[in-house]
């Protein structure tokens, strides 16, 4: 099967290839090597095109081993950040080669289109401290050696981070900050009245995510805080949309366009469909629906993933993420699944 993996690696490295053909090959491979998936597919109509490939719901990663190899042979496993009430989903990796290859060109195109070389301050644990965190691993891959991690034992090291920001400002050294939206809000709360003016060229990547937190901040509010506290303008802040169950990430087109954008680019080896939950068919461009992702780099797990996020597909080939359905309105006095998740 290294042949198929090789084809995908070539596709990712070159940025060109026949997506439809490879997707059908990967589908055939996954159907053959994952009995759970095969049983699932066997109960559904035959697949004639990549768009019809049955999607694995993200929550299936909690209940099943979504893998096309014996998971005892996994070189890494990343876990979802489930609350205590639910078990975490696990994504097993036979090799990290596809994953790591898919990360770099995409990250560079969206965070370093100017080929800048910047020191990285990551508001996450280091990959060594958090071996099951896909985010920490990803940042480890993109940030290279010149990277400091500011979370230790689940604690954001606010003093140390503040001091480092101060040093960077005085040394006129542009810097790249990476972290979850929640970690940044935590930092801004800590900074209070303190404001930095980080040197021009400084930038930030935030991954969204307020799951299970007491306080939520909207994207425009968050970006205002970035500008207010760090002097980073909105056209240098990029939202990353990724998930443990995938190997490929999606970034706002902001730095490519040199203006703040909520539209996410789709790399050549991936596809995004927005599905109308009332019909199971693709939503019209500009209409809301559930985001379904096809990621060739997920060769050893599941290429087609049904997320629990709502989104919109745009005519220019980008898409927008509107948030998780978990926040759906709970009406009145009947308990439903969603109110329980909050408990």
Partner 1 sequence: MNVVDAIAETAQNWLAPESRWRKRAIAEAPEQTGFSPEMINEAVTLIFSALTHEALSKFIVPADAPRKITHILSGNVPAPGIGSICRGLLLGAENWVKCSSRDPVFPALFVESLREVNTELAERVIVKQWPREDVEQTKTALTGANAVIAYGDDDSIASLRALTPVTTKFFGYGHKISFAIIGEEALADRELPALAAFDASVYDQQGCMSPHAFFVEGDANAFAEKLAIAMEEFQQRVPRGKLSIKEAALSARVREIHEFRGAQIWTGKPPYPWTVIYDAQPTFTPSCLNRTVFIKPMHTLNSMQAWADTISTIGIAPWNAEMQKLASNLAERICPIGQMQRPPFTSN
- Shortest Cβ distance from residue 94 to partner 1 (Å)? 22
Nearer to partner 1, 174 or 311 (CB): 311
Q: How many CB atoms lie within 10 A of CB 231?
A: 16
Q: Report the alpha-carbon distance of residue 220 to residue 185 in Å, rounded.
A: 13
Instruction: Indicate whether 43 belongs to the interface with partner 1 (CB under 8 A).
Output: yes
DSSP letters, 18-50, are -HHHHHHHHHHHHHHH-HHHHHHHHTSPPP-SG
Tokens of 232: 């980073």
Ranges within 289-308 binding partner 1 (CB under 8 A): 289-290, 306, 308
Instruction: Indicate whether 63 belongs to the interface with partner 1 (CB under 8 A).
Output: yes
Nearer to partner 1, 255 or 272 (CB): 272
Tokens of 97: 């080669």
Nearer to partner 1, 29 or 40 (CB): 40
- Cβ pair 185, 225 in contact under 8 A: yes
Instruction: Indicate whether 333 belongs to the interface with partner 1 (CB under 8 A).
Output: yes
- Shortest Cβ distance from residue 322 to partner 1 (Å)? 9
Nearer to partner 1, 194 or 336 (CB): 336
Strands 76-79 and 270-275, how do they pair? unpaired
Q: Report the alpha-carbon distance of residue 5 to residue 97 in Å, rounded.
A: 9
Q: Report the alpha-carbon distance of residue 165 to residue 322 in Å, rounded.
A: 32
Taking the CA atoms of the chain, what radius of gyration do you get in angstroms? 20
Task: Single out the residue of 20, 171, 257, 328 in contact with partner 1 (rule: CB under 8 A).
Answer: 328
H-helix or E-strand containing 307?
strand 304-313
- Shortest Cβ distance from residue 151 to partner 1 (Å)? 30
- Cβ pair 229, 221 in contact under 8 A: no
Q: Report the alpha-carbon distance of residue 100 to residue 93 in Å, rounded.
A: 11
Nearer to partner 1, 30 or 306 (CB): 306
Task: Single out the residue of 17, 29, 57, 69 in contact with partner 1 (rule: CB under 8 A).
Answer: 57
- Shortest Cβ distance from residue 19 to partner 1 (Å)? 24
Instruction: Indicate whether 59 belongs to the interface with partner 1 (CB under 8 A).
Output: yes
Interface stretch with partner 1, choices 37-45, 137-145, 183-191, 260-268 (CB under 8 A): 37-45
Is 57 strand, coil or helix? Answer: strand
Strands 120-122 and 147-149, how do they pair? parallel
- Cβ pair 252, 264 in contact under 8 A: yes
How many angstroms separate the first and last alpha carbons of the chain? 45
Instruction: Indicate whether 338 belongs to the interface with partner 1 (CB under 8 A).
Output: yes
- Cβ pair 296, 275 in contact under 8 A: no
Residues contacting partner 1: total by CB under 8 A: 37
Nearer to partner 1, 57 or 199 (CB): 57
Interface stretch with partner 1, choices 168-176, 186-194, 228-236, 320-328 (CB under 8 A): 320-328
Nearer to partner 1, 315 or 335 (CB): 335
Binding mask 250-289 for partner 1 (x = CB under 8 A): -------------------------x-xxxx-------xx
Nearer to partner 1, 172 or 336 (CB): 336
Nearer to partner 1, 155 or 278 (CB): 278
Using CB under 8 A as the criterion, which residues of the chain lie in contact with partner 1 when the complex forms?
Answer: 36, 39-40, 43, 55-57, 59-60, 63-64, 275, 277-280, 288-290, 306, 308, 310, 325, 327-340
């Amino acid at each position: 099967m290294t042949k198929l993996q090789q084809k995908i690696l070539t596709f990712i490295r070159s940025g060109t290839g026949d997506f439809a053909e490879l997707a059908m090959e990967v589908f055939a491979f996954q159907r053959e090597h994952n009995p759970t998936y095969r049983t699932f597919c066997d109960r559904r109509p035959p697949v004639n095109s990549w768009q019809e490939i049955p999607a694995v719901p993200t929550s299936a990663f909690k209940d099943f081993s979504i893998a096309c190899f014996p998971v005892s042979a996994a070189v890494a496993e990343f876990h979802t950040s489930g609350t205590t009430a639910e078990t975490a989903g696990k994504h097993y990796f036979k090799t990290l080669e596809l994953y790591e290859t898919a990360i770099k060109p995409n990250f560079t195109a969206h965070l370093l289109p100017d080929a800048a070389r910047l020191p990285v301050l990551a508001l996450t644990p280091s990959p060594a401290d958090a071996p099951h965190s896909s985010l920490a691993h990803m940042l480890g891959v993109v940030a290279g050696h010149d990277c400091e991690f500011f979370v230790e034992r689940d604690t954001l090291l606010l003093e140390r981070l503040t001091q480092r920001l101060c040093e960077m400002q005085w040394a006129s050294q542009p810097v790249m900050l990476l972290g979850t939206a929640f970690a940044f809000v935590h930092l801004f709360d800590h900074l209070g009245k303190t404001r930095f003016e980080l040197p021009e060229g400084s930038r930030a990547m935030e991954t969204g995510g307020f799951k299970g937190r007491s306080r939520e901040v909207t994207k425009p509010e968050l970006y205002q805080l970035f500008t207010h506290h760090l002097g980073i303008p909105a056209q240098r802040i990029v939202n990353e949309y990724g998930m443990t169950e995938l190997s490929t990430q999606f970034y706002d087109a902001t730095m490519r366009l040199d203006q703040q954008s909520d539209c996410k680019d789709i790399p050549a080896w991936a596809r995004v469909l927005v599905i109308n939950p009332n019909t199971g068919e693709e939503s019209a461009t500009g209409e809301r629906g559930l985001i379904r992702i096809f990621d060739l780099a997920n060769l050893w797990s599941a290429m087609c993933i049904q997320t629990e996020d709502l989104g919109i597909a745009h005519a220019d080939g980008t898409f927008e993420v509107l948030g998780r359905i978990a926040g759906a309105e709970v009406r009145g006095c009947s308990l439903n699944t969603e109110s329980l998740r909050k408990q």
